Structures are given as structure tokens and as C-alpha cells.
């Protein structure tokens, strides 16, 4: 797209809607139209990969990346029992370094590839590292949860066509290049051009490239390595001596190849930078880079924003009525497949195989879209036929070829379980754009209002011998309802059993499981909290009951007094004037006499 007037940085622009039908899914007999859509703002960069208009991958960068960066660190602890060491690299937590990620001493063979696994297992961490020793390490896996970063002393500098490995002497070719003739050609070129004292990996993108193109990439990476060495001499440990490139640069380097039809960027400054980078690494692809200059926000124009709204959904619907349920946990990710409303038309086995095939496609998409890593278990619908299980597995493994992450897949068990691992380098997209719920701490469940109300009852019994003849309880409004019970029955029984007055008040700033119990005397608490009388008219906020399947309407005064309304349905969401008919320490019953204005601000339930 030609540039017009320079749009404001990172801002959305408005125009007429695009005809999304022109970007609908194409027929299966051709490669999908693949686009990279880039949205840049002052606070974040977002990259979306679309295949035939459908969002397949999404990456976001809001702070400097750690994975791929090189640090000069200090060994803090050497743990022989774990065959590992912890290294201070200047991050919040010490980095983890396993013995298998340490280069051999100079007196030994310099090639890590020449070391067999059995030899790696025989090496002792205490013979290789000492506390206080300074070493250069590269982050291979970012911090996640309570775990620090994982690092290696085997430095690897990725370019567009090759990966240069200092202090190695091996030459390898990407496994994704399957043509034997091409692999042999590239290996011969690699053996000729690999610099002395370096190892080389020829990446998938170098397929069909000339020797001069690969040499230019190596020369650039050698210069980068010299800069790393100079930075290591200048800086005192712990320090970062080389930062990996920004998300947009890495996208151009690692993703933007012959398989990409075009890249669209909505920021003029970044567009110019990408053009310069492309001139150096992929000059033939420059014409595929376009500046977006419409008024509609770029992610609205391409339909990405709507897809992102569903990115955090626990339940993912399928076209034929089934659905996936995705649970991302610390140890593994579980994906459950359900037929839902998909009842099929022929036989049960046919319905199941069709549902599983459709679900497999969506699972493959979700793996890439959410960038899930680690151990993943997919629970397919049970298939009795071994032929059907093999068919689903073949379909799934073939689909993984489009995934750039390294994966290993097991077999579909008789119970329909498929186990696989997917390389994880840091947070998943879900973790990157969301926080754990402050109420449930990421568990996905909180204690019910009945449970919390019972906690309060037990705590009041524990305080029963404290001086006083009454309790003042402040808690979440929903818990107040549970404590009062139907028609006030619970709280009246509790007062009778304890032989104490109980004053319940809602605190709208308290969390669901939070509460406070104070002991006192009825005379004192009546003066402070019972400024109400029968037939009194006052204002309250009208709300629906917190209990499911309960049509009861309630009111809350500003100081948290519970009022059961006899006729308040039409006043929900408003403030209303009510007349008190019956008054108790913890609640009252009232009639609505005048509606008020809609309530604003925080919720009262």
C-alpha cells in the first residue's frame, strides 16, 4: 500500500469496513494466503500471522526480551546433587545452568556435538564451576512463575540463513529441509565457509540460497560476536552484554520468507526500519512490505481484534457444535474435546471421527496461537477403532509441520489421550497478556459464599469467651446474604445459640474471602450501627440477590446494611427511597416508595 499522509504513531484510523469475504478461507488445494500484520504503539508491539484471513499466531512485546540475550554472570551456588549451578546474571532471580549446558574445557575436544550423552552424564558440575567464577551465558528459556531463567554457555547467534556458534566446530542442516540433494549441497557449502573456531547451523530459510548470501550472513554474525566480546571486557559482572533483537526485527529475520505473501505495518517509523533491515537480509522481499495508511485501526480492519477477544477463553467453540476446554497449568496443559451439540447424521463412530478431526485442526491452531509449551495432553473423544485413532494421529502430526516450534508426539491411547511436548522458551501468550486472578490466585476457583459464611461462624465460636455480648462482622455483600439466610433464619438461630447479638455489615472494599470480626457490647453497637427506626424513609442501592436462581431483590445502604425489598424488581440498578417495615440488627424489610437515579461507580454485589 502506498504511503499517504503520515499517520500518528500507533493510533487507530477510521474508514469504511473491509469486505471480509475477500479474505475468507481458500480451497484446500493451494497454500493459504499468509500475511503478517504489525501494530505498533508507544507501549507495545503486536504481531499477528494470518492464514487466509484467520489468526494463526500472535506475539506481543511490552518490555525488553530476555531469551537469546547474553550475560556476563557470577556463579553463586554449585549443587552437585542437582548437577547444576545457579548464576547471578543481574535478573530478579538467579539463572539455572545444568551441567549438560556447559562447554568442555579448552584442553578437551572443543565440539559440544562430539560429546555423547553418556560422557555428559559423567561430567561433575563441581569440577567445572566454582562459586564466584565469572562466565558468559545465554538465556535459552525465560523466567516463568517462580522459576528463574535457564542459561547455557553454548552461545548461538541466529542470522537469517545460519546460526553461528562460537567455540564449536560442527556443521548442521535444519531437519525441516528434507530434500537429500539440497541437504548435501548445503552441507558442502557449510563445510567450505564455516569460520575457524565456529560451528554453523544452516537454517530452513537458506534452502536454495547461494554461497555468497550465506557468507554475507556469517560476516554479519562474526561482527556481532566481536561486539559481544568487547562488551564483555568493558562490563563488570553481572551484566547484560548483548540483547536479542526486538520482536519486529526477529519477525523479519525468522518468519518473513518466501512463504509470506505480505507484511503490513501501521507505523511509518517502524516501516522505514523494516525496509532497511529487509534490504540487508531479504532484498527480494522488500516489495511485500506495505505501510498501512487507513483510518480504521489495523487490527479492526483485518478482524484480528475480535479474535483476540476470544484468546483467553477457557472454552473454544467448534464450527459443528463441539468445543475444546483448555486448561493451562504449571505442570502441563490439558485440552479436552467434547461433541457438544454435534450429534452427527450417520453413525456414532462417524460422528466421533469427524468431531476429532475437526478438533485436531483447532488444537493445532490453538497451540500456535497461544504459543503453548511444555507437556500437552489432548483428550480426544474415545475411538474404539485403531484405524480411526491412527487416522486422527496422522492428521494431527501432518498439521504440526506448519508449526515452527519443535514438537514430539506420542501415540493416541485406547482412552483417546494424546501426549506431546512443544518447545517452550518463555511465557505463553496467555501468560504474557494476563495476570493471575487476585481472588483465586490463578486456581480458577474461590470458596463459595456459604463456605466463607461458615468460616465466620466458626471464628465467632472461637471468640465466644472474649468480653462482650455482641459481634460486629464486616464482610463481602454476598457472604452477608449467606449468613442471614432465607427470611433471616440463619442469623436468628445463630444469635439464639450464641446468646449474643450479631451485627452484620457489608464492606464493599473487601475481597470475597476477606472478613473482620470484632467483639463488643449491644448498647455500644446499637448506638454506632443501628441508626434506623420503623417507618423510616431512606435511600438504598437496589441489587439482585447474589444467589443463583433467586429472584429476590435486595437493597444496600451506604454503610452496608442489608434490606430485603418486597417489590423492587423494576428498580434494579437504581437508587430508590424505601420505607422500613421491620428492623433487626443485621437486616431490615422494606417497601419501595420512590425510584431514584441510576447508581454509578462500584458494584454493590
- The model's pLDDT over 104-161, given as tens digits with 9 standing for 90+, comes to 644 344 444 444 445 555 678 888 889 999 999 999 888 876 788 899 999 999 988 8
- The model's pLDDT over 572-602, given as tens digits with 9 standing for 90+, comes to 888 999 999 999 999 999 999 876 545 444 4
Burial class (CB in 10 A: 0-12, 13-18, 19+), 15: exposed
Q: Is 428 a residue whose pLDDT tops 80?
A: no
Q: Which residues neighbour 302 within 8 Å (Cβ) at sequence distance 6 or greater?
A: 18, 23, 35, 37, 48, 50, 53, 264
Average pLDDT, stretch 39-67?
A: 88
Q: Which of 311-320, 360-369, 426-435 has the highest mean pLDDT?
A: 360-369
Q: Which residues neighbour 165 within 8 Å (Cβ) at sequence distance 6 or greater?
A: 154, 155, 156, 157, 198, 199, 200, 201
Vertex 349 angle, CA 348 and 354, to 5°: 100
**pLDDT interval class at 16 (50, 70, 90):** very low
pLDDT of residue 3: 40
Q: How far apart are CA 88 and CA 254, in angstroms?
A: 30
Q: Which residues neighbour 466 within 8 Å (Cβ) at sequence distance 6 or greater?
A: 519
pLDDT of residue 429: 83
Strand partners, 583: 588
Following DSSP, what letter does each residue of 435-474 receive, concatenated? Answer: ---TTTTTSS----HHHHHHHHHHHHHHTTTSSSSEEEEE
Q: Is 10 a residue whose pLDDT tops 90?
A: no
- The model's pLDDT over 530-570, given as tens digits with 9 standing for 90+, comes to 999 999 999 999 999 888 767 889 999 999 999 999 887 88
Residue of 152, 129, 126 lying closest to 140 (CA atoms)? 152
The model's pTM is 0.69
9 CB-side CA count, 13 A: 7
Q: Is 420 a residue whose pLDDT tops 50?
A: yes
- The model's pLDDT over 210-260, given as tens digits with 9 standing for 90+, comes to 888 889 889 989 999 999 999 999 999 899 999 888 888 888 888 888 788
Cα 220 to Cα 91, 167, 215, 216, 244: the distances in Å are 29, 17, 9, 6, 15
Chain mean pLDDT for the chain = 85
Q: Is 301 a residue whose pLDDT tops 60?
A: yes
Q: Which residues neighbour 269 within 8 Å (Cβ) at sequence distance 6 or greater?
A: 9
**pLDDT interval class at 434 (50, 70, 90):** confident
pLDDT of residue 38: 94
Q: Which of 97-106, 167-176, 337-346, 475-484 has the highest mean pLDDT?
A: 475-484
Q: Which residues neighbour 447 within 8 Å (Cβ) at sequence distance 6 or greater?
A: 455, 512, 513
Q: Is 4 a residue whose pLDDT tops 60?
A: no
Percent of the chain scoring above 70 in pLDDT: 89
CA-based R_g, the chain, Å: 32
- The model's pLDDT over 88-117, given as tens digits with 9 standing for 90+, comes to 998 888 999 998 888 764 434 444 444 444
**pLDDT interval class at 480 (50, 70, 90):** very high
pLDDT of residue 119: 58
C-alpha cell at 85: 549451578
Q: How far apart are CA 158 and CA 149, in angstroms?
A: 19
User: Positive or negative, the Cα torsion across 399, 405, 410, 412?
Assistant: negative
pLDDT of residue 433: 81
Amino acid at each position: 500500500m502506498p504511503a499517504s499522509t503520515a499517520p500518528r504513531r500507533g493510533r487507530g484510523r477510521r474508514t469504511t469496513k473491509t469486505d471480509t469475504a475477500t479474505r475468507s478461507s481458500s480451497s484446500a488445494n493451494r497454500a493459504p494466503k499468509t500475511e503478517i500484520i504489525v501494530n505498533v504503539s508507544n507501549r507495545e508491539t503486536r504481531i499477528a500471522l494470518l492464514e487466509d484471513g484467520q489468526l494463526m499466531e500472535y506475539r506481543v512485546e511490552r518490555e525488553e526480551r530476555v531469551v537469546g540475550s547474553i550475560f556476563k554472570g557470577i556463579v553463586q551456588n554449585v549443587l552437585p546433587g542437582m548437577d547444576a549451578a545457579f548464576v547471578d546474571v543481574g535478573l530478579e532471580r538467579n539463572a539455572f545452568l545444568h551441567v549438560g549446558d556447559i562447554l568442555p574445557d579448552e584442553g578437551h575436544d572443543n565440539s559440544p556435538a562430539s560429546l555423547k550423552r553418556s560422557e555428559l552424564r559423567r561430567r561433575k558440575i563441581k569440577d567445572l564451576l566454582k562459586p564466584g567464577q565469572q562466565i558468559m551465558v545465554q538465556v535459552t528459556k525465560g523466567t516463568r512463575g517462580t522459576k528463574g531463567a535457564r542459561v547455557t554457555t553454548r552461545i548461538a547467534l541466529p542470522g537469517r540463513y545460519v546460526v553461528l556458534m562460537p567455540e564449536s566446530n560442527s556443521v548442521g542442516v535444519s531437519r525441516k529441509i528434507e530434500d537429500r540433494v539440497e541437504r548435501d549441497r548445503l552441507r558442502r557449502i557449510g563445510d567450505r565457509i564455516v569460520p575457524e573456531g565456529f560451528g554453523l547451523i544452516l537454517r530452513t530459510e537458506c534452502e536454495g540460497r547461494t554461497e555468497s548470501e550465506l557468507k554475507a550472513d556469517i560476516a554479519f554474525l562474526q561482527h556481532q560476536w566481536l561486539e559481544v566480546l568487547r562488551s564483555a571486557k568493558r562490563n563488570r559482572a553481572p551484566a547484560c552484554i548483548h540483547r536479542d533483537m526486538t520482536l519486529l526485527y526477529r519477525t523479519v529475520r525468522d518468519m518473513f520468507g518466501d512463504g509470506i505473501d505480505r507484511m503490513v505495518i501501521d507505523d511509518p517509523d517502524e516501516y522505514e526500519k523494516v525496509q532497511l533491515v529487509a534490504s540487508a537480509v531479504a532484498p527480494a522481499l522488500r516489495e511485500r512490505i506495505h505501510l498501512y495508511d487507513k483510518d480504521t485501526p489495523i487490527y479492526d480492519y483485518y478482524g484480528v481484534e475480535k479474535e483476540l477477544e476470544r484468546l483467553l477463553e477457557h472454552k473454544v467453540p467448534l464450527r459443528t457444535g463441539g468445543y475444546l476446554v483448555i486448561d493451562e497449568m504449571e505442570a502441563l496443559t490439558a485440552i479436552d474435546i467434547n461433541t457438544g451439540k454435534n450429534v452427527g447424521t450417520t453413525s456414532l463412530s462417524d460422528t466421533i471421527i469427524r468431531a476429532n478431526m475437526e478438533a485436531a485442526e483447532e488444537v493445532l491452531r490453538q497451540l500456535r496461537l497461544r504459543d503453548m509449551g511444555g507437556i500437552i495432553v489432548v483428550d480426544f473423544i474415545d475411538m474404539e477403532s485403531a484405524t480411526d485413532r491412527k487416522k486422527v494421529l496422522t492428521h494431527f502430526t501432518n498439521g504440526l509441520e506448519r508449526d515452527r516450534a519443535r514438537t514430539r508426539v506420542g501415540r493416541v491411547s485406547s482412552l483417546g489421550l494424546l501426549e506431546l511436548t512443544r518447545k517452550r522458551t518463555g511465557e505463553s501468550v496467555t501468560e504474557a497478556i494476563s495476570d493471575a486472578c487476585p481472588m483465586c490466585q490463578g486456581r480458577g476457583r474461590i470458596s463459595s459464599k456459604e463456605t466463607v459464611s461458615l468460616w465466620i461462624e466458626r471464628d465467632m465460636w472461637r471468640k465466644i469467651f472474649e468480653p462482650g455480648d455482641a459481634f460486629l462482622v464486616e464482610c463481602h455483600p454476598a457472604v452477608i446474604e449467606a449468613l442471614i439466610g432465607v427470611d433471616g433464619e440463619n442469623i436468628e438461630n445463630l444469635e439464639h445459640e450464641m446468646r449474643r447479638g450479631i451485627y452484620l455489615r457489608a464492606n464493599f472494599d473487601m475481597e470475597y474471602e476477606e472478613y473482620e470480626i470484632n467483639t463488643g457490647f449491644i448498647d455500644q453497637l446499637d448506638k454506632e450501627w443501628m441508626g434506623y427506626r420503623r417507618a423510616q424513609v431512606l435511600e438504598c442501592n437496589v441489587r439482585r440477590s447474589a444467589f443463583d436462581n433467586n429472584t429476590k431483590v435486595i437493597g444496600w445502604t451506604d454503610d452496608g446494611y442489608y434490606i430485603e425489598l418486597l417489590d423492587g424488581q423494576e428498580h434494579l440498578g437504581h437508587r430508590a427511597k424505601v420505607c422500613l417495615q421491620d428492623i433487626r440488627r443485621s437486616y431490615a424489610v422494606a417497601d419501595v416508595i420512590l425510584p431514584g437515579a441510576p447508581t454509578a461507580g462500584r458494584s454493590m454485589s
